[in-house]
Amino acid sequence: MEYFEFYDRDPGLQDIRIAFLNAVEDFHEKRDFTSNFLQVANELEISIRASCEEDSGEEGRAFTLNGQRIILLKSVRSAKRRVFTAWHELSHHLFEILSDGDFRAFLDDLTYGHPDWRNSCEEELCFESAALLLMPTHVVNSVTEENGFSPISVFVLSKKTGASYSAAMRRLIRRKSIDSHGVLMRPDGQVLDSFQYGGKRGKYCVGSGFKLESSHPLLSSPFHPLKTERFAASVPFKGGNRKWMSKCMAAVDQEEDRVVAFFVDDYPVDNKDQLSLF
Ligand SMILES: [Zn+2]
């Protein structure tokens, strides 16, 4: 029970989330924040096997069979996705193992009779846990101290940790807890992924798999390589209205052929380029 500080009520989802993520960070710290996935899996006696389920959409699976903990990993093209999936599946086992199974037991109680809800809660927790394991907090902090809350930090974090731009974008937004729409696209305007965070913005999903019109500032503004550009722009939405004008910070990584953009209410004040003005 060491991760739950109260005994007078059953923990809610947010209590379980915070407690589990703390336990994951403690677990990782005790192993010097290793990025050696196989070493951790070995220590936990988890057997890693290649998945042959070629038609299933899942890139990995975690389960226990006859007492043996197992992770199945599909061979996917992107090494970055594979490593994230591996930590994600390991997180499912950690969810059972850490704190002697408290997390799973409390979640089972909370979601009793609603297995779909239960599974989607655990999925979300394991995505967050994988992000912590792949991008430890002290690494995220050192990147943002250098580059602020900016698309450049996404590029740097990805290069330092091997996380994808999608994963690094989510990790950075959650860590800094800044209301924003994050958009990952190709320089030609094809939106590949997006993430929404915060009270108001969290309700509106940008979506993915659509192309921006060529007049959008993300396409019409000049970009300098690896420099954050700032301009006003409407938040793009897949098939939705575009009336929401917002402040936008965007940068291009030409080597990777990717643009990352953050739509925010206000430009963050922790960025170095602003501080150095004074
Ligand atoms: Zn999962």
Residue 214 alpha carbon to ligand 1 centre in Å? 37
Q: For residue range 152-200, what is the model confidence (pLDDT) as tens digits?
A: 999 999 999 999 999 999 999 999 999 999 999 999 999 999 999 999 9
Q: For residue range 58-105, what is the model confidence (pLDDT) as tens digits?
A: 789 999 999 999 999 988 778 888 899 999 999 999 999 999 999 999
Residue 92 alpha carbon to ligand 1 centre in Å? 7
Q: For residue range 176-189, what is the model confidence (pLDDT) as tens digits?
A: 999 999 999 999 99
Which of 134, 155, 172 is the last residue before a domain boundary? 134
Please indicate, yes or no, whether residues 158 and 66 belong to a single structural domain of this protein: no
- Predicted TM-score (pTM) of the model is 0.89
Task: Answer whether residue 237 is part of any domain.
Answer: yes
Please indicate, yes or no, whether residues 194 and 259 belong to a single structural domain of this protein: yes
Which of 112, 134, 156 is the last residue before a domain boundary? 134
Domain tally for the chain?
Answer: 2
Please indicate, yes or no, whether residues 224 and 142 belong to a single structural domain of this protein: yes
Please indicate, yes or no, whether residues 42 and 123 belong to a single structural domain of this protein: yes
CATH number of the domain within which 103 lies: 1.10.10.2910
Mean pLDDT of the chain: 91
Residue 72 alpha carbon to ligand 1 centre in Å? 11
Q: For residue range 214-254, what is the model confidence (pLDDT) as tens digits?
A: 999 999 988 888 899 999 999 999 987 778 999 999 999 99
Q: CA 95, CA 124: separation in Å to the nearest integer?
A: 12
CATH number of the domain within which 176 lies: 3.30.450.130
Residue 219 alpha carbon to ligand 1 centre in Å? 35
99: containing domain: 13-134
Q: CA 264, CA 175: separation in Å to the nearest integer?
A: 15
Please indicate, yes or no, whether residues 142 and 269 belong to a single structural domain of this protein: yes
User: Please, what sign has the CA dihedral across residues 45, 51, 53, 55?
Assistant: positive
Read out DSSP for 119-144? HHHHHHHHHHHHHHHHS-HHHHHHHH
Residue 123 alpha carbon to ligand 1 centre in Å? 5
